[in-house]
Structure 1
Amino acid sequence: MPLPKFLRDFLIYLTTITGKSPRTRKEYEYDLVLFLRFIKAMEQDIDPANLHTIDISDVTIDSIKELALEDLYLFMEYCEIQRGNLAASRARKVATLKAFFKYLKGKRRLIDENIAEHLETPKIGKRHPVYMNFEEAQQFVVAIDQQHYSSRDYCMMILFLNLGIRVSELCSLNLDSIHDRKLTVIGKGNKERQVYLNDSCITAIEQYMLERTPYKGDGSQPLFVSQKGSRFARQTIARIVKQINGKAENPKDKLTPHKLRHTSATLMYKAGADIRSLQAILGHSSVATTQIYTHIEDEQIQKVLKSNPFNNIK
């Protein structure tokens, strides 16, 4: 679908200047295409049910200049009421609009006023990370033996559980990402970090390399190669995690690669990792993000208080 030039330019800016990933860029594009279609539907009195049919290639910057903060509120109301978007989804759309209008005014000076500057972000309730305890994680690892490509899948899961890496980071690993006992990981915003490979990771990698399928593509050699000789996609890794979980003695409900990351971080924290070290390992830009794992401390405190002998005195 053809996009207005100012929108194309913004999307290019996201990847080339701010270092956003292709996946993040697609999310921004989805949100902004929806927004421009909604605005055009309001202007031309088109039924929102037909929003997906609206062509936005002729939307001009003059149309953007005519918008007011109230139009953004109207769009957010549409997302909540008619599309059923939850607070987290609406918060992402607010972030998209803020970045878009900031770019139009601050970087390109195409508009005189940034109407999104005072757009409030929906409040999102704090959610504790879902994770496996150590026993559940052990059962998960045991179930890998039932996989057809067990050494490959075992190696991927061991890296998840030991290093807490993201699924996108695992997919982007190359053979030359390994330097002795260190692994170079490319995280969000193309930020590079190095993590230490413990004995478990080294052994898993060595075993996998004996059976690694030759890569049939071009460019850098990926560390993990599918049976077809291609680099893994995030969705494929998610399916593998689901398969292994289904074979475990006590499957964890809706286990995903991201929950393996939570499991790794939580177990490291419980084992004594300090919050700053955990931040560096996980690749969080802010320690506030890492602090979601300190909920474990709260649980342990509650357990100690419940075990207090005076708790049984009536």
Structure 2
Amino acid sequence: MFKKSKDGILMKIKKVADFELLAEEYVLIREAEVSKYTVNSIRHTLRHFLASFDGEITEKSLKLKALQFLSGKNNEHYNKQLQAIRGFLQYCVSEGYLDENPCAVIKYKPHSGRIVQHSEEVIRKLLDAPDRNTWAGLRDYTAMVLTLDTGIRPNELVQVCIADFDFASSYLYLRESITKTKQKRTLPLSDVCVSAVKKLIHYRHASWEGEIVFCSWRGEEITTGDLRDRFRAYSKTTGTQITPYHLRHTFALYFLRNSSKTGVFALQKIMGHSKLEQTKNYVALLEADIQQAHQTASPIANLLGRSTGKKKALLMKI
């Protein structure tokens, strides 16, 4: 769009932006690039971000509003929402509605890499909590089993269909449309897990449409939020707060403890990590295990430890 200046020279001016419409356009574009879960997250972030403006949205106010909007959020939530806002505003720049991205200078916060560990006792209590005589209880129990067996992400789990399972070969094939990285993933299944999933599918009501495995008692899709709420209720029996994502952490830690030295590479494939550094976060947590093993197995610690013990016993007698 152009207008004439006083001296008759054509000058380019910015287009008038309808940010809500632009946000919907941006979300539609992202649908072809990322998972359904990520698209919903972007849509939710942009809707609330744009709603935080009282009056006219200007290029000058965007950065300040973004900082206010992100204030107080933990690092992971902060980074996820900043990424959505920055991506959207960059789209506005590419379409000629903004001269530059006002949020490009806002930095991401360091990833905490916080991984939650739960003891075997706590996990057993969690598995015992669902009432498997009800559909919801059987579904939740099977969701726990599948996550502990494969490390599947909660948002992938709630989208798994019956056709994704190959029970003859004991594999679960995750479609690229439901994975975080938009890449197909193959998850090996244990016999225990295969048996649990088969039982859940067996008890599906004949009238239910669709093939979603982990559905509601009406055969409808559930969300990761629904699953998290169910886990919150079960957590009361364990004495500690447990989320579906915690079971993904548990799978990774136990897998590394019980696998070979090359297990970290296999784990990267199973977990769907795009970078090995993400998988190595779990390796770092096992340093405490290594230290404990060293204290028990070290020859020098045992030799001198016993010797010191004898000297102490002798001194006490004196």
Establish whether TM, by shorter chain, passes 0.5.
Answer: yes
* 8 Å Cα contact 2:33/2:182 also seen in 1: no
Tell me the SS of whatever aligns to 1:102. helix
Residue correspondence of structure 1 range 147-166 to structure 2 within 5 A: 148-149=134-135, 150-166=137-153
- Residue 278 of structure 2 is aligned with which of 284, 289, 299? 289
Q: Determine whether 1:277 maps to 2:291.
A: no
Number of residue-to-residue matches in the alignment: 278
CA distance in 2, matches of 1:235, 1:97: 23
Q: 1:244 to 1:192 in 2, by over 3 A?
A: same
Quote the offset at 1:288 in angstroms. Answer: 1.7
- Residue 228 of structure 2 is aligned with which of 232, 238, 254? 238
Which has more radius of gyration? 2
Residue correspondence of structure 1 range 43-192 to structure 2 within 5 A: 59=57, 63-64=58-59, 67=60, 72=63, 74-79=64-69, 84-106=72-94, 108-124=95-111, 126-144=112-130, 148-149=134-135, 150-179=137-166, 180=168, 181-185=170-174, 186-192=178-184
CA distance in 1, matches of 2:139, 2:85: 41
* 8 Å Cα contact 1:265/1:278 also seen in 2: yes
* 8 Å Cα contact 1:152/1:212 also seen in 2: no
Between 299-308 and 159-168, report the one with greater CA deviation: 299-308
* 8 Å Cα contact 2:228/2:243 also seen in 1: yes
Which runs of 5 or more residues in structure 1 are unaligned?
Answer: 45-55
Normalised by the length of structure 1, the TM-score is 0.75
Report Cα offsets for 1:4-33 as digits up to 9, x if no partner.
322221121121x32242x43343334334
Q: Which amino acid aligns with 1:135?
A: E
Quote the offset at 1:239 in angstroms. Answer: 3.4
Aligned to 2:39: 25
Q: 1:87 to 1:202 in 2, by over 3 A?
A: closer
Indicate the RMSD between aligned Cα atoms, in angstroms. 3.0
Aligned to 1:50: none
Aligned to 2:188: 196
Q: Which amino acid aligns with 1:31?
A: T
Q: 1:130 to 1:301 in 2, by over 3 A?
A: same
Quote the offset at 1:252 in angstroms. Answer: 4.9
CA distance in 1, matches of 2:199, 2:102: 56
Q: 1:197 to 1:263 in 2, by over 3 A?
A: same
Quote the offset at 1:162 in angstroms. Answer: 0.3
Residue correspondence of structure 1 range 244-283 to structure 2 within 5 A: 244-247=234-237, 251-272=238-259, 274-283=263-272
Tell me the SS of whatever aligns to 2:173. strand
* 8 Å Cα contact 2:181/2:272 also seen in 1: no
Q: Which amino acid aligns with 2:153?
A: R
Tell me the SS of whatever aligns to 1:117. coil
Q: Determine whether 1:227 maps to 2:243.
A: no
Q: 1:216 to 1:271 in 2, by over 3 A?
A: same
* 8 Å Cα contact 2:158/2:215 also seen in 1: no
Q: Which amino acid aligns with 1:222?
A: I
Quote the offset at 1:37 in angstroms. Answer: 4.9
Normalised by the length of structure 2, the TM-score is 0.74
Aligned to 2:14: none
Aligned to 1:14: 30
* 8 Å Cα contact 1:160/1:261 also seen in 2: yes
Q: Which amino acid aligns with 2:38?
A: T
